[in-house]
Amino acid sequence: MRAITLKRLKIKHPLVPADVPETDFDYAEHIRQAVGVFGSPKGENHKMVRVSVNVMNAVEKAQASPSGVVYLEEADYAHLAKMVEGMEWRFAHKSIVEFTDDVMNAPKVDAADIIKAAVAETPAVTTHPVAK
């Protein structure tokens, strides 16, 4: 499996007036864009749609998690990496480089490490004695 930490970077878009404030460069949104829009004019087959939905589901799960980490099976990660590599940008910015580097160099993680992280995120359950 691969792990990608969702980030939200600040970006000053060079194509907007100087008085417009910085905007967020949201990893979750760019991952969804990468896998949600296919480059082929005729689209993609159902297998590619399924893999894209797997990636989008993993992003949604990560957004709901305190860690904000997207965990992807190797096939899903390979699809995301291919789609991110093929993305076209209209301007140059260090946030784009950081995003693509983070996706393309996502570390491999062991399932046991993912379970440990999930346990660490889970609030402790306390029990109260039942009154007699």
Does the residue 110 lie in any domain?
A: yes
108 band by pLDDT with thresholds 50, 70 and 90: very high
Does the residue 131 lie in any domain?
A: no
| Residue 20 structural domain | 2-121
Does the residue 82 lie in any domain?
A: yes
Does the residue 16 lie in any domain?
A: yes
CA separation for the pair 59, 71 (Å, rounded): 8
Q: What is the pLDDT of residue 42?
A: 77
5 band by pLDDT with thresholds 50, 70 and 90: very high
Does the residue 126 lie in any domain?
A: no
Does the residue 19 lie in any domain?
A: yes
Does the residue 39 lie in any domain?
A: yes
C-alpha pair distances (Å), 42 with each of 39, 48, 60 = 9, 13, 27
Higher pLDDT, 5 or 41: 5
Does the residue 127 lie in any domain?
A: no
State in Å, rounded, how far the first CA of the chain is from the last one.
50
Higher pLDDT, 10 or 106: 106
Closest to 62 measured CA to CA, from 83, 76, 75:
76
Q: Count structural domains, the chain.
A: 1
Task: Give exposure, 44-80, as e/b (b: 16+ Cβ within 10 Å).
Answer: eeeeeeebbebbeebbeebeeeeebbbbbeeebbebb
Residue 121's contacts (CB-CB under 8 Å, 6 or more residues apart) are 65, 66, 67
Express each pLDDT in 7-23 by its tens digit.
999 888 777 788 888 88
Q: What is the pLDDT of residue 16?
A: 79
Q: What is the pLDDT of residue 26?
A: 95
